[in-house]
Amino acid sequence: MLTSRFFRYLLAFFLSMFIGWAILSVSPVLAAGTMTEIHVSMGTVSGELKFVPNHLELITGKPYRLVLDNPSPIKHYFTAKDFADVSWTQKVEAGNVEIKGAIHELELKPGAKAQWVLVPMKPGTYELYCSIAGHAKAGMTGEIVILP
């Protein structure tokens, strides 16, 4: 019984150390105030199904604020699960709401705006698309490239 409890405490200790290290490794970058803001429109006023721009380039370890807006008359999704999985999300702000935790997809209704504050952590090329049926097929796709 003592051995099992000891290993649980040891595991909790190492897990806390790892989480603390992860937070400290990202926090100085955010505190430095060097955040880059990127604006992305989801659709157009005339109803075109596209992301503007549809190609984003980010640098590993650098903080970004993705400012998303939906000027179109229908809702859209900003879906980039693999990108989200390799990024550290500080928060998402929409209206008077701030969301923290893992983000994989954002839905923006007509006229909506949201801000996603994140730090990309792993280089690669990641798919971006609107997951509403028919939107990606009609051209509402893009890519997010994270450079080393």
What's the rounded Cα separation, in Å, for the pair 148 and 143? 16
The CATH label, of 2.60.40.420, 3.40.50.300, 2.40.37.10, 3.60.15.10, for the domain at 36-147 is 2.60.40.420
Q: Which residues contact 100 (CB under 8 A, 6 or more apart)?
A: 89, 90, 91, 92
Helix (H, G, I), strand (E, B) or coil at 85: helix
Strand-pairing partners, residue 140, are none
End-to-end CA distance of the chain: give it in Å, rounded: 47
Query: Domain coordinates of the chain in residue numbers?
Result: 1-33, 36-147
pLDDT per residue as tens digits for the range 35-83: 999 999 999 999 999 999 999 999 999 999 999 999 999 999 999 999 9
For residues 18 and 102, the model is more confident at 102
